[in-house]
Structure 1
Amino acid sequence: MTTQSAAGASPAAPDTQLQQLRFCFYGAGSMAEAVARGMTGRKLCPPEQIGMFNRSGGQRLADLRALYGVTTAETPEDKDRLLAEADVVILSMKPKDAEEALRSVAATLRPGQLIVSMIAGLSIRTIQALLGQPLAVVRTMPNTSSSIGLGATGLSFSGEVSDEQRRIGEQLFRSVGMTVTVEEPLLEAVTGVSGSGPAYLYYIMESMIQAGVELGLDSGLARELTVQTMLGAAEMMRITGEQPAELRRQVTSPGGTTQAAIALMEEHGVGLHFRQGMKKSSQRASEIGRDLERSVLGD
């Protein structure tokens, strides 16, 4: 039977134990920044206990250091030190870089550390194989709304994760939004729904703003109306608990303006194409994972 649970609709208060932990991000892209920003903004731990580095270093790390007060590393020696001292190592490099990166740090990591992966498609089995040891692994799929404390993160745990480590993983991502716990194969579905989800909504908002401009509105006003409409619709669904189909029905009067718009969208299969796009995102995550797994494990 599949296990699914959700928690943390509102950000959790800082945890005393987490205040003592050291975190290290391997990878300093937009997702790593989103979580680090959430961690520092929510005071999950002192910013100097958050280490970050990437392959290229340079201005990117300087910007992160200036913005959030985190510790960064440029030299191989400093990178190894951050990794070795961390209680929680967060893997946030691109999937195409994961194999080389994980092999390169395998000898630096030690038993007892918690490995948190934000790498789309990379399975727990593959991570442990690349590291050459059965370390405790939390595989996650967050989204960029974590940067403002409104993230949605899917979590799966390896068998080696202790109850305490599980709590650390959950608390880490509850500090930047809500979490759902699912069996590992369903993380690809989480990717398709919420991992890539913000981009779908931004895409819709782009179209709404452009349509407003084409109808004669000032671009700034079209943007304000679009943002407020999105906020209001999401909050209406959350507060009322109603299904979206019912809320749509309440807005759609027979023969009215909304029905005219919905009818045209249905005629062109907008809903169908939207669902197919989401499934494609999930499928792509699976493809990335299978390719990496074949490369590493030869299966």
Structure 2
Amino acid sequence: MTHRIAVLGAGVMGETLLSAILSAGHPARDLVISEKRVDRAEELREKHGVEVTDNATAARGADIVLLVVKPQDVPDLLEEIADAVRPGSTVVSLAAGIRIDTMESILADGVAVVRAMPNTPALIGEGMFGISPGTFVSDEQMAAVVSMLEAGGKVVVVDESQQDAVTGVSGSGPAYVFYLAEAMIAGGVDAGLDPGTARILATQTVLGAAQLLAGGEDTAEQLRARVTSPHGTTHAAIVTLDERGVHDGVRAAIAAAAARSAELSGPA
């Protein structure tokens, strides 16, 4: 079954999801995106062949409405489209920190609301989405949302109470990987490599390690232990990381990100 999908917000993530959904085979005639700027709207029409209009017009008649705007803009956007979104439609918010009950309080009864936390690898179709259903979401609607977001990566369904943890692990997670890669490159340069070679070595190592972890049944701990021979080079590196408190630091960083997410969400 083909759903009419409205993407409200034509920024980087909005256009990324639009492109991913089109690439997954969804017909352009059943996609619409909102954009106020005339030049940007024309660019989107020419590039993707979809309808470009205002928020309320885009939302009217859509089966799924994607909110891809800044968190502070979500309440006003919901007020703008509240009369246009029909009961039975599904509103999916990708804005961090906006609670389901906040959205449901603005929209009409019967409008299904799904809260989603994306991350930036969705830009290349390798994103991670943690999603939570609201009060009125049916199994069929949830399946449609999962199928749509899988065009941009992988999807896990969690209770909304776990959204802060999702934010800490995957929402902010790409930054941790970039931080590690940054340190690996700098360490390579310190050891005598030129920056370009150090970047290639670090980047491919991170990529390959991630694929090993994703492609097998072994845990991260098992994979790490397998390449850490007693008294070898990797052992020396891991001992140093432990002495510097890196493992505990990463866990503390995730806890801090989750706590900040909870602060931004406000009281339950």
Give the TM-score, by structure 1 length. Answer: 0.81
1:201 Cα offset (Å):
1.0
1:239 pairs, out of 212, 215, 220, with: 215
1:132 Cα offset (Å):
4.7
Cα distance, 1:59–1:225 mapped onto 2, change above 3 Å: farther
- Is there any run of 5+ residues in structure 2 with no aligned partner, and where? none
Alignment of 1:1-299 (within 5 A): 17-18=1-2, 21-43=3-25, 45-54=26-35, 57=37, 60-73=40-53, 78-290=54-266
- 1:30–1:144 Cα contact (<8 Å) kept: no
The separation in 1 between residues aligned to 2:38 and 2:256, in whole angstroms, is 35
Cα distance, 1:215–1:175 mapped onto 2, change above 3 Å: same
The separation in 2 between residues aligned to 1:48 and 1:216, in whole angstroms, is 55
The separation in 2 between residues aligned to 1:175 and 1:108, in whole angstroms, is 26
- Is there any run of 5+ residues in structure 1 with no aligned partner, and where? 1-16, 294-299
1:244 Cα offset (Å):
1.5
Single out whichever of 88-97 and 237-246 deviates more from structure 2.
Answer: 237-246
1:191 Cα offset (Å):
1.4
1:235 Cα offset (Å):
2.0
1:134 Cα offset (Å):
4.1
The separation in 1 between residues aligned to 2:258 and 2:42, in whole angstroms, is 34
Percent of paired sites with the same residue: 38
- 1:33–1:147 Cα contact (<8 Å) kept: no
User: Secondary structure in 2 aligned to 1:280?
Assistant: helix
Give the superposed CA RMSD. 2.2
1:125 Cα offset (Å):
0.9
- 2:117–2:171 Cα contact (<8 Å) kept: yes
Cα distance, 1:185–1:208 mapped onto 2, change above 3 Å: same
Cα distance, 1:212–1:64 mapped onto 2, change above 3 Å: farther
Q: Which residue of 2 aligns with 1:10?
A: none
Instruction: Name the aligned partner's letter for residue 23 of structure 1.
Output: I
The separation in 1 between residues aligned to 2:50 and 2:193, in whole angstroms, is 43
- Cα shift readout 1:207-256 (whole Å, capped 9, x = no counterpart): 22232233332333222212221122122223331121222122222332
The separation in 1 between residues aligned to 2:226 and 2:160, in whole angstroms, is 38
Cα distance, 1:69–1:242 mapped onto 2, change above 3 Å: same
- 2:61–2:85 Cα contact (<8 Å) kept: no
1:48 Cα offset (Å):
4.3
Give the TM-score, by structure 2 length. Answer: 0.89
The separation in 2 between residues aligned to 1:58 and 1:273, in whole angstroms, is 47
Cα distance, 1:210–1:66 mapped onto 2, change above 3 Å: farther
The separation in 2 between residues aligned to 1:189 and 1:237, in whole angstroms, is 21
1:71 Cα offset (Å):
2.9
Number of equivalenced pairs? 268
The separation in 1 between residues aligned to 2:216 and 2:55, in whole angstroms, is 49
Cα distance, 1:61–1:275 mapped onto 2, change above 3 Å: farther
